[in-house]
Structure 1
């Protein structure tokens, strides 16, 4: 193509993009409330199969859907054909299409044979009244660059999009994309169109919110999703997302991680990067940025049974005590984090199911406002919020210490006017009476969640 012709072709493409794209603004309708669902990583890691996804989706539809749980997300490794080599192994082999896009490995996802991709599995999930999601690593496959495969719907090839000096520090599969090159947008457009055709409702993009932060690629992905015309939740991982990026991620993504991976322990140790206690300070810092369409994400809920192939550590039942699991769900809810279950749903016991299906606790996560930490000490944290209806308050009190404590507060200390208030225990779904102050004794790492009524005259 002559230089002038190439210039006018690129100019026309750029103007076309401007005409078809609405103003840069996050689509709040894709996540008007914090997304609720299940992700395969904590229990299956990269070994998850189509049979596993179908079984967990069925369980969600039967037991959780009526309480608001709806997303079923296939995490990392769905395109790897030789899982036996281990997670993120350099020897991993992949299934790609002719345009350098990952395709589901048919030995794990038999319905993806031919060019079907994830469409049959997504159709199954949708038939249950649920929504379907997948995980990807930012960038494009190194194999696509090595073979310089064409980019679907564009005049470019893979090598023209890649930044070969940029590889995720903990996963060697992909090169990052050079956002200054038109081919980079072309590649993200091509995969977004593919996923929209499959019926994807939720896209988790990894190695993009930190390690390091990749704002240019986040913008490319958001533009690509917008062009498809299909609503998709864009979830950025892992964290910690830097606080000075809050305005930008709020503009382009529906949810983003505020920390690295949270696992089933109270406090981080040398093996596991983050535990429940680590999230209190982070949640307090990020709470002002929660709003319809953009949600700081405290990470998955590592509860229930994390097996047969836990994403970190050996297969196991969660190591969190029951009090710690209640505290986990209470903090996530009053912070309004997305609620994404990590445990194997097909092995879910009655107690765990009851934890996940309390409508009064879920309402705090889904329908509250003004959520914030009132106080945090080395022994306690107190959070306050208002129901979206504006009637009364939600109040959570947490014992952060390893011993039992009695906590005494005046209503004024809890940012409420003096007087007598009615208390309802949302976990027990029980009215407790009216009180002129608050006294509660909590075991180690335990918590309470109340609805506080208007002052009684």
Structure 2
């Protein structure tokens, strides 16, 4: 009996050692490709996990591109359009791994959905440069950057708010009611962030909480992050800070010179100047800024934020965007996130590499910075609902921007965000989104997404307020061939389906994610 006990203990210890060693071996993560435009400066941090120190190598890079063997950062520009296969190698004392990765130089950016973090739900109107730099440090320490969470987007309000007697406030109030959505706060909601919105040359002026924008982006880049910024096509942002109206080219040059790689462009006060709700008027300010961005030396991914007005998914790419909001701001309650999913149930046709429907920032973990005091609060989504939220954003090939405050993030949230299987679903190079196949009488929803390797991902979503315990036949899926092998992506366990029936038990507002590999 004693011998058997020690045998079991030894087996457990060895298994734990094997798993620990497996996590220590270098693994090159992220998508298999990255898009950049000819003659534009770009940055791509190769996401690599494993025990440090890790030394990397990249074979096949053009001479105009630099690679840092210690940080894994690829940067530079390539003059000639084409696909450049790169052999990446990562090694440490535990082992070595290689992977072929492609730089795709052409007209399209964001060939896979952007992944990163946004300041809005962490710090709201109280955001500072120190907090952005702290967030980068924490994301690095917690292993998120190593899995592809590489964008840090500075949201509203980083620019100065015009003082109360600035003519912009009167100009906006006297614009006729054109029945077009407009929103802005102020003039006295940002009392510690007021000042001249622009200098004598017309350049936008950051508020005092951002004393060194260039230094901030350089800090992010050194740590393997891309830097994102926020503005509005109107004269004011939603928070009442200076926007880009009639200064588009100047602002685009400023962001490029400062080293920003991403722009979120929020409709806000521009509605006061739109003639009507026609598609041409919705597109106009975004086309102007897209043209300005194209003239800059850097690649800057363009995110259109206008809440789905005018069916933006039909024309967002034509207006120059790579992603576009499809919904108003979501909140951390089931109704809000489920409605955002349902809105995209029949819009998979509009999604492809460089064209992403954006149902908004992830409401996962400690959020609440958009409240007036900017303090954290308890998330109103249950643990199961947060898992469903993350899973379905991955199924939809949605941009993944974390709303959680990294200063308070917990292990459960990190486990969700670090799930490699679900990240792979989101970052698949085929670039297809899931569509909803069926809505059952018991409120079980069946969603399906095709993958580049020929497999299919099925989401069984329980939209009801009760546990669903039943069978579902695989004939409810749209699989081109049988037989198949099926794996539960969250448990990593194979699924048995005698006579085609899968036995399911899914809690209220929960989800089961299945990978269906077609047998050859």
TM-score, normalised via structure 1 length: 0.76
Q: 1:54 aligns with which of 121, 133, 140?
A: 133
1:98 to 191, 200, 204: 200
1:290 is matched with: 351
Is 2:376 aligned against 1:322? no
- Determine if contact 2:161/2:241 at 8 Å carries over to the other structure: no
Structural mapping, 1:299-378, within 5 Å: 299-307=360-368, 310=371, 315-367=376-428, 368=430, 369=432, 371-377=434-440
Give the C-alpha shift of residue 240 in structure 1: 2.2
Residues 58-85 of structure 1: per-residue CA shift (max 9 Å, x gap): 12223211211110011001124799xx
Q: 1:248 aligns with which of 295, 315, 335?
A: 315
Q: Would you say the 8 A contact 1:238–1:261 is kept in 2? A: no
Structure 1 residues not aligned, in runs of 5+: 1-25, 113-117, 142-167, 178-183, 268-274
Q: Which residue in the other structure is 1:389 paired with? A: 453
Q: 2:507: which partner in 1?
A: 443
CA distance in 2, matches of 1:236, 1:353: 28
CA distance in 1, matches of 2:160, 2:470: 52
> Residue 241 of structure 1: CA displacement?
3.3
Give matches, 1:138-149, under 5 Å: 138-140=233-235
Alpha-carbon distance in structure 2 between the residues aligned to 1:377 and 1:434: 19
CA drift at 1:451: 0.7
Q: For the Cα contact (< 8 Å) 2:482–2:518, is it kept in 1? A: no
Task: Work out whether 1:39 is the aligned partner of 2:118.
Answer: yes
Instruction: Give the aligned partner of residue 165 of structure 1.
Output: none
SS of residue in 1 equivalent to 2:338: coil
1:311/1:335 Cα in 2 relative to 1: closer, same or farther (>3 Å)? farther
Contact 1:139–1:176, Cα closer than 8 Å, also in 2:
yes
After superposition, the C-alpha distances for 1:103-127 in whole angstroms (9 at most, x for unaligned) are 2212x123x2xxxxx1110000000
Q: Which structure features the higher share of helix residues?
A: 1
Decide whether the 8 Å contact of 1:30 with 1:254 is kept in 2.
yes
1:166-185 superposed matches below 5 A: 177=245, 184=246
Question: Does residue 1:204 correspond to 2:264, yes or no?
Answer: yes
Over 3 Å counting, the alpha-carbon distance change for 1:430 and 1:410 in structure 2 is closer
1:405 is matched with which residue: 444, 462, 468?
A: 468
Once the two structures are TM-superposed, the CA of residue 277 in structure 1 deviates from its matched residue by: 1.2
Deviations 1:333-392 (A, max 9, x none): 1110100011101211111001001111111111053632111357122111122122x2
Residue of structure 2 equivalent to 1:454: 518
- Structure 1's 326 and 126: CA in aligned 2 closer, same or farther, altered over 3 A? same
Shift of 1:242: 2.6
Paired position in structure 2 for 1:146: none
Q: How does 1:90-129 map to 2 (within 5 A)?
A: 90-91=187-188, 92=190, 93-95=194-196, 96-106=198-208, 108-110=209-211, 112=212, 118-129=213-224
User: Match of 2:144?
Assistant: 64
CA distance in 1, matches of 2:162, 2:226: 28
CA distance in 2, matches of 1:121, 1:239: 29
Q: Which moved more, 1:131-140 or 1:356-365?
A: 131-140
Query: Does structure 2 conserve the Cα–Cα contact (< 8 Å) formed by 1:204 and 1:236?
Result: yes
2:158 corresponds in structure 1 to 78
Separation in structure 2 between the aligned mates of residue 393 and residue 439 of structure 1, nearest angstrom: 19
Distance 1:209 1:296 in 2: 23
SS in 1 for 2:257: helix
TM-score computed with the length of structure 2 as normaliser? 0.67
Query: How far 1:407 sits from its partner (Å)?
Result: 4.5
Output the CA distance in 2 between the equivalents of 1:307 and 1:261.
13
CA RMSD of aligned residues (A): 2.8
- For 2:243 and 2:371, the matched residues in 1 are separated by 27
Count how many residue pairs are aligned between Structure 1 and Structure 2.
377
Residues 176 and 199 (structure 1 numbering): CA distance in 2 closer, same or farther, change over 3 Å? Answer: closer
Contact 1:61-1:130 within 8 A present in 2 as well: no
In 1, the alpha carbon distance for the partners of 2:129 and 2:162 equals 15
Q: Take 1:209 and 1:411, find their aligned partners in 2: how far apart are those partners? A: 49
CA drift of 1:46 comes to: 1.3
Deviation at 1:309, TM superposition (A): 5.3
C-alpha deviation, 1:302, in angstroms: 1.3
Contact 2:113/2:426 (CA < 8 Å) preserved in 1?
yes
**TM-fit CA distance, 1:30:** 2.3
Distance 1:50 1:349 in 2: 23
Partner of 1:115: none
Label 1:308 to 1:214 Cα distance change in 2 as closer, same or farther (>3 A): closer
Give the conservation status (yes or no) of the 8 Å contact 1:42–1:312. no
Check whether the contact 2:487–2:515 (CA below 8 A) recurs between aligned residues: yes
* 1:315 CA drift (Å): 3.5
